[in-house]
Structure 1
Amino acid sequence: MMPRPIRLLLPAASLLLLPACFELREPEPSTVSSEWVSPTSIDVLLSNFSTAVQRLNAANYERCFVPQRYRFYPDPAAAGSTNAALFANWGVREELDYFNRLRQRTPATAQNVLQLSARRDQLYGPDSAEVSAQYTLTLAQTDTAFRFRTMQGNIRLLLRRRNNEWQIAAWRDLATGAQPVWTEAKKYFVRR
């Protein structure tokens, strides 16, 4: 049997050795800084949206949309009659499914390119607006079965402001010519 002073010192010695089990290290630098800016104006919302698409930032992408009641309306020709059910109730969940699957098929260092031009804003009141613009979206994804790299069309966003922040309540994709449209990417990647 151990002498009493040693038995009393043993737990104290164990406590002194405990910090050696945990090595402190410098925190790792953040690879993706938070690029989100409170969208108190339509310009800031569109900047957040474009940056999220380009950098494939799913958290910021999701923040651009009204959580419930958001709807996406595909280009009718690109959606086709066989995909009517796919787009019938397209909401934020489907947006995130498509976006995350696209992100999984994009190299970590790659970025998409989204250009908006010929933008027109229509204010319907202090808390409601519609933005229409021509877009060119170039995807950096690696899925060889998806045959479109660049998509072009017209994007129409119905915006709502709540608590002084703008969000996308509805999105309509429209073809402007023979080029593939964003609907093609959503249709393809939501299923993969």
Structure 2
Amino acid sequence: MKINFLQSGIYISILCGLAACFNTREPAQPSSATSWISPTEQSILLDNFKKSVLELNLNNYERCLNKYLIFSPDRNLSGNNTGVFQTWTTVEELEYLKNLKARTVQTGANAFTFSNEQTNFLTADSLEYTANYNLFVYHQDSSYTATHFVGKCILSMHRNSSSEWAISRWQDNRTDAQTPCWTDLKQHFISP
């Protein structure tokens, strides 16, 4: 059987076209939500929360919070600055983190740990989590020199209809008169 020149050209064109389908490409960069795990357990929610704070990941941070979050600042500070925290909602919570992120170079040096953790289940779908926190945030805001924050947080968590846990209430308490607490950080970065 004789194949003519035209048929040979068609076969070669088809083979080249098929080979082009299998060219490699640069891998896509991971999205900012790749570290998120569905918080079907409160421990997963706490891991997500810690990672979102360390990474200053606004999307994941927001996913950790109930949209009707109630934040209660440290009592000693809130008496002097009631206007800042009087109407604090999830909107302000995200705004402070956004401002902090804009003034922080991502070096991987930030650190965040909980200690002396206690969990008190109120119902099958709600609990109160209490822990001391130790937070280092290396921001670049020269008007605010504090980078180390310690205190005690009381987080109320609830499971929603999708069986995912979220933080609905957050009480911050100062534990060291010499070291700022998380309330101080929020107060500065809500309107730096």
TM tier, smaller: 0.7 to 0.9
Structure 1 CA distance for aligned equivalents of residues 109 and 55 of structure 2:
5
Q: Which residue of 2 aligns with 1:138?
A: 136
Would the aligned equivalents of 2:126 and 2:158 in 1 still touch at CA under 8 Å?
A: yes
Matched, 1:49 2:49: yes
Gaps of 5+ in 2: 1-24
Q: Which residue of 1 aligns with 2:61?
A: 61
Root-mean-square deviation (CA, aligned residues, Å) is 1.7
- Counterpart AA for 2:176: G
Matched, 1:165 2:164: yes
Structure 2 CA distance for aligned equivalents of residues 189 and 55 of structure 1:
16
Give the SS at the match of 2:169: strand
Structure 2 CA distance for aligned equivalents of residues 120 and 35 of structure 1:
25
Give the SS at the match of 1:38: coil
Residue among 80, 95, 98 paired with 2:93: 95
Pairwise CA distance, 1:180 = 1.0
Question: Which digits, 9 at most, give the CA deviation of each residue in 1:110-149, with x for residues without a partner?
Answer: 4421110000000000111000000001011111111211
Would the aligned equivalents of 1:55 and 1:111 in 2 still touch at CA under 8 Å?
A: no
Give the SS at the match of 1:137: strand
Gaps of 5+ in 1: 1-24
- Counterpart AA for 2:77: A
Count of residues paired in the alignment: 167
Within-5 A mapping of 1:113-192: 113-162=111-160, 163-178=162-177, 179-192=179-192
Give the SS at the match of 1:66: strand
